[in-house]
Amino acid sequence: MYPDHFEKEDLIKCGHGELFPGDMRLPIDEMLMVDRITHIAGDDGEYGKGSLVAELDINPDLWFFKVHFDGDPVMPGCLGLDAMWQLVGFFLAWSGGEGKGRALGAGEVKFFGQVLPTAKKVTYYLDIKRMIKRKLTMAIADARMEVDGKEIYTAKDLRVGLFTSTDDF
């Protein structure tokens, strides 16, 4: 079994296909929106099917503050949403799923705050609602994102699948 926490070096290994068997990979370099996973378990959370907590350290030198927007730097909301999808895929691989991860949608996404260059830390919380391990391996999760302890994004029914072939995707 895998550990219940992962450091940046582990996440980089996952980006190069060196952490889990199969093809599941996290993004690399700037698109990896997570610095560490502080908790992962398969039998807890709001629905009793697993949870994950992860963090991203914020500093004014992050690439997206330079381009989004000129004179009004803010982390794009889509990057926070993508981070939550990344983490659902990571949970699938951690729990034994194999294949290439693909985001499949979300039921409801709400943004009611922002990440500015003055922030220190983003924290992601995921609660797994459902795991499917048949021909398709998929997880459905609810998630929320906090910046410096204040909730700013929520997402319900995030869906990520693992595919052994993406030729017809």
5, 16, 39, 68: the active-site residue: 68
CA distance 42 to 28: 25
- Rounded to 10°, the helix 77-94/8-15 angle is 80
Location of structure tokens 């959370």: 45
CA distance 76 to 33: 11
CA 36 to chain CA centroid, Å, is: 11
Q: Is 68 a residue of the active site?
A: yes
Handedness of CA 49, 143, 57, 68 (dihedral sign): positive
CA distance 53 to 14: 17
Residues annotated as catalytic are 68
